[in-house]
Structure 1
């Protein structure tokens, strides 16, 4: 996904992968977004990791990851398809259990996020839009 690709997504087929592939997904996305300001890129990578991890852990496995760069507004859209029709939900905070905080991060770092069911394939897509802070918008346009 080159900086001038507009709203054309870059995608990775995740069929047959598991959560051990998260580091390689982050490297792939970081390479595509290398010209973004570091804070924006790191937010995108964190959100991508959380959504993909949820697909592996709660969604019956991930199918596809798509990144779409939108220059106006300065934003990166993340879409992760999985094998479950159950929508993600934010768990109440607190407790000492490992996990359960990922969607709180997603909710904090995104301008919007949600999911849509794909009934014909018996799955869903979880999507998120990570906006660019005003101080980093110039890097989004390069």
Structure 2
């Protein structure tokens, strides 16, 4: 058996982060966690591009445009969709999830899903640096892992 293990992500890797303004008290903490993790792992500050969008629904459009540039080793998507009194959150979550998966597959590009899909504000708080960790930081770790794994894979 031959196990392919990730190598260190190349020094010239660039990453993008698309983050939603909606629920900014949560999404800012996710962004802070992702940026801190990249810095801790040696990714230069100027190798990380951040694009703010109005809400989670707009994340796939900007992610698609960024993926089209072929500049990035990975794109993190950060948002917080919190259930309200209607099923609106269900449709947002489904559309965003499907769109981001399609972009990643079409581009053979890691598109990391850091869009919280929570029942309550408290659940979101706990996932943005609270007792459950910081999902933005986890996305950055996953992006680095995937960049290294893709670099280790044969191209043909």
With structure 2 as the length reference, what TM-score do the two structures score? Answer: 0.27
With a CA cutoff of 8 Å and minimum separation of 6, indicate the structure with the bigger relative contact order.
Answer: 2
More strand by share: 1
More helix by share: 2
With structure 1 as the length reference, what TM-score do the two structures score? Answer: 0.30
Point out the structure with max Rg over C-alpha: 2
